[in-house]
Structure 1
């Protein structure tokens, strides 16, 4: 009996040590610390560290940068290795994700005391294989920006929302954000509309789950162990599902020894259950609409969406994008047409999201560090 007790004790001690190391070594989350940028002396890296906290389609973080000899400038490119070609064949989400980064970068540079000049390379012949922009920084006086502190909040909240609606003042503030971008934001709270959009989102989720190519792409984005998260900290992981750290650690052990836990059928089931639960606890939707689909317009949509996220945090609200229904691949066309017929008004619906007051806080999702997305070369 004593040997059994000692064996169990040793196992518990070993498990405890492994868990402590798991918590300590999750360096793909360290970037969320407010003083993390101080790890770098190069102001370009400090600014990029803030940009990397931005939201991106499927958390792909499709950003990369080239540093040349000029210490006050860097080039911005799209990371084509992070394309999601099945669900984003026309690259809308990809370009919107460039705008979210640029917005975060602009807010951070103000607070750090730098002025940004962004020179876009986009013209009629531009494509995603070419440089997106050259960014030049110039030292200036630091400015206060009340949105800065919210850069460090989780960008997406997939949890449950309270049965509360927005005040008139909150709706007015939110809608006003779109004016300077020449875009439109539509807030939807009527019960009949909320139910209709929720049903369309569920229909889109079922379409996505039945499309094997889409599900294979989703599975490729899922990181189910610490090694994959440290090497390629983009896409999906258990951190993004709102689970406590101990559960993440335990489930990853199960997936390691029982691969069936990570079977595509399990992925489909979890995806559909999560979507249904989220929709059933949603009381407000928001859309961002544009008259244009050119690259610069899509980047503006991303900038507005990121500014929306930060303003919602200031109001105590959170948001989760629902890409199903506004994606443009063939299988999703029926849902795409229904939602545009009901709410498009001859415009393109480029973002659809649920928003509300969270029932509880949510986890941060994994992120790259600056050195993982920067290439330094000599001219």
Structure 2
């Protein structure tokens, strides 16, 4: 999920291209390209020096929603304060919660927070709504309240149209004491998407894998884990190819570039989208050597840096997949609900998850990898659709939360 959601461009982790020294045996008159490299390298060093002591930590304002959602005393605000922590594509947070009717939450899709290029039919957006809904239901149960979920009360969006502006669901609250607590509630504020390298030599807990399968079944879905080399290697190849396609297709790359937030000030001002906060990335951007609006070209050094960034994403204990019997709108929402429960279960077990959504996207250039992935996993008969693919395992580096907008910014009262 891109629900991957949240990582697009932590791309540049070295400055070799800019800092390469001139060959001592070269001509005494450097080429213009070498001169630019030399000057650019000095600028990077100067900018990096100015960032000395800076960390990768996100500004407090951007992660404050993670700190204390349980402080909300109003029941619906309590539900929504937890639900907004849900994973979602490109971290767009496309949720509008209408509270103007007592005892209900009407969830609408923000027309300005969709992905028409990488997610042209809104499949991933609706998976993101599923994750939001499930966290709201879990939070309500924590206070003993059952929730009735009515999907698409105003009508189901057409299969090949974006659901922008649609009422995705109405959540109706039951009486106090109508629901038992959900043991996964405590994991909501602990669940994060780890995008670092994972250990390749640690097996997943058998109980967790069984729980994933059982959870998928509860929502009418199928799930499995590819964990041996013979099964994982084709998935690595396909997902790598898919990432390159997304990166070199101008309109899909630029869609991501437009929601990149580079540095603490930009992240604090817009706590959504793709956050880039590493000091080196910020330095390169400051001196004009990293322009997110420049589309990586095939064969270029910029594309090589993009693909180098992908290498850690091939590490894992396995690849978890989640498939629905069809690709209807209710199945997409159900996939989000099942996915986030699976992620909460993983968090409780000390296991990390990171969605790899590129090969599942439905823009025309991605057809080859999408069909190859279905075939590799034995899916696709009678309309069966792969809705989520995640690498799972044990991250080798710690990771924190992604930025979230404030609760009040989502509300209509």
**TM-score, scaled to structure 2:** 0.77
Matched, 1:59 2:91: yes
Task: Give 1:276's aligned residue.
Answer: 311
Task: Give 1:120's aligned residue.
Answer: 151
Partners of 2:58 and 2:194 lie apart in 1 by 24
Report the Cα offset of residue 143 of structure 1: 4.1
Alignment of 1:221-232 (within 5 A): 221-232=259-270
Report the Cα offset of residue 283 of structure 1: 3.3
Aligned pairs, number: 348
Task: Give 1:243's aligned residue.
Answer: none
Verify the 8 A CA contact 2:58 2:264 in the aligned structure 1.
no
Relative to 1, partners in 2 of residues 1:253 and 1:204: Cα closer, same or farther, differing over 3 Å? Answer: closer
Q: Which runs of 4+ in 1 moved over 4 A?
A: 22-25, 122-125, 265-270
Relative to 1, partners in 2 of residues 1:44 and 1:267: Cα closer, same or farther, differing over 3 Å? Answer: farther
Report the Cα offset of residue 352 of structure 1: 0.9
Matched, 1:301 2:335: yes
Task: Give 2:80's aligned residue.
Answer: 48
Matched, 1:130 2:187: no
Alignment of 1:93-242 (within 5 A): 93-122=124-153, 126=157, 128=163, 129-141=165-177, 143-162=180-199, 163-238=201-276
Root-mean-square deviation (CA, aligned residues, Å) is 2.6
Report the Cα offset of residue 371 of structure 1: 0.5
The structure with more helix, counted as a fraction of residues? 1
**TM-score, scaled to structure 1:** 0.84
Report the Cα offset of residue 105 of structure 1: 0.7
Partners of 1:117 and 1:137 lie apart in 2 by 7
Partners of 1:355 and 1:90 lie apart in 2 by 27
Task: Give 1:78's aligned residue.
Answer: 109
Report the Cα offset of residue 71 of structure 1: 3.6
Residue deviations 1:59-112 (CA, integer Å, cap 9, x gap): 1211111221x3422311011211111111121101111100011111111113
Partners of 1:226 and 1:324 lie apart in 2 by 27
Partners of 1:131 and 1:59 lie apart in 2 by 20
Greater Cα offset, 337-346 or 80-89:
337-346
Any unmatched runs of 5+ in structure 1? 1-13, 240-247
Report the Cα offset of residue 123 of structure 1: 6.7
Among residues 317, 321, 325, which one is paired with 1:287 in the alignment?
321
Partners of 2:77 and 2:370 lie apart in 1 by 39
